[in-house]
Amino acid sequence: MDKNNPIGIFDSGVGGLTVLKEVGRILPAENIIYLGDTARVPYGIRSAETVTRYSFECTEFLLRQDIKLLIVACNTVSAISLNKIREKVPIPVIGVIEPGARAAVNSTKNKKIGIIGTEATIKSSSYLRAIKSLDGDIEVCGLPCPLFVPLVEEGWTSGVIARLVVERYLKDIMDKGVDTLVLGCTHYPLLKGVIQDVMNDVCLVDSAIETAKVVKDVLAEMGMLIVRSCEGRRKFFVTDSTEKFINVGERFLQSRIEDITKIEL
Can you tell me the distance from the alpha carbon of 147 to that of 259, in angstroms, rounded to the nearest whole number? 30
Note whether 33 and 25 are within 8 A (CB): no
Bridge-based pairing of strands 69-72 and 7-11 is parallel
Selected catalytic residue, list 58, 141, 145, 185: 185
Residues 6+ apart with CB under 8 A from 80: 48, 51, 52, 55, 120, 124
Question: 185 an active-site residue?
Answer: yes
Burial string for 123-161 (b: 16+ CB within 10 Å, else e) reads bbebbbebbeeeeeebebbbbbbbebbebbbeebbeeee
Note whether 236 and 245 are within 8 A (CB): yes
- The identity of residue 243, as a single letter, is E
Note whether 258 and 57 are within 8 A (CB): no
Alpha helix locations (H) across the chain? Answer: 17-26, 48-63, 75-80, 82-88, 97-107, 119-124, 126-134, 148-153, 160-175, 192-199, 207-222, 242-253
118 φ/ψ angles, rounded to the nearest 5 degrees = -75, 165
Question: 58 an active-site residue?
Answer: no
Note whether 236 and 260 are within 8 A (CB): yes
Residues 6+ apart with CB under 8 A from 156: 162
Note whether 9 and 215 are within 8 A (CB): no
Residues forming the active site: 74, 185
